[in-house]
Amino acid sequence: MWTYNKKLQYPVNIKNPNPKLAQIILTQYGGPDGELGASLRYLSQRFAMPYAELKGLLTDIGTEELGHLEMIGAIVYQLTRNLSIEQIQASGFDKYFVDHTTGIYPQAAAGVPYSALSMQSKGDILTDLHEDLAAEQKARTTYDNILRLVDDPDVADPIKFLREREIVHYQRFGEGLRLATDRLDSKNYYMYNPSFDKK
């Protein structure tokens, strides 16, 4: 189904390690509004989506989110490579280091491991698309917060790229919601579903 292009969607070339930044950026790898949850959400929702255009949209964006996950992993890796024990201790990275050394592990900035409880796949067109719109805005807000804490342009540039893609995804899901609402039976829009009528 997929062809893997062995390069990042946007280049990541970080010269200065910074484990303190790595700890906060890691949230976009496995945090509640991160790229792992986004890719799983969209690639799961696509199966129940009845409209081919929206199934394609979920597949395309879900696949792109996997590329974003790869970028975040590269950023965190480059921020933590070749650290001395002194740097690890001074930055507060020691707790993460004890459990994972400098391996990339899906967790939030607060240290909470990734949980699928942070995403939803209902099989209802409107519910899932509203979930997706909200997810993209939460991810954009998280990137905004990260950018407030980053002063290294090597880190800020790929984060800005990822933030821009959240906005584009939000716009695409908005278009998808309009397409879906135009096609839904007006009697089956929210309050009445004939399949639930026992007659």
Instruction: Tell me if 114 sits within 8 A of 30, measured CB to CB.
Output: yes
Residue recorded with tokens 């067109």: 125
Digit-coded pLDDT (tens) for 105-153: 999 999 999 999 999 999 999 999 999 999 999 999 999 999 999 999 9
Model's pTM, two decimal places?
A: 0.92
**Long-range contact set of residues 96-103: C-beta below 8 Å, sequence gap at least 24:** 96/23, 96/26, 102/77
Please give the share of the chain, as a percent, with pLDDT higher than 70: 91
Beta bridge mates, 107: 113
Instruction: Tell me if 59 sits within 8 A of 46, measured CB to CB.
Output: yes
Quote the pLDDT of residue 195.
60
Please give the share of the chain, as a percent, with pLDDT higher than 90: 87
d(CA 135, CA 140): 9
**For residue 119, which amino acid is it?**
M
- pLDDT for 187 beyond 60: no
d(CA 108, CA 67): 19
Spacing of C-alpha 198 from chain mean position:
41
- Intra-chain end-to-end CA distance of the chain, in Å: 44
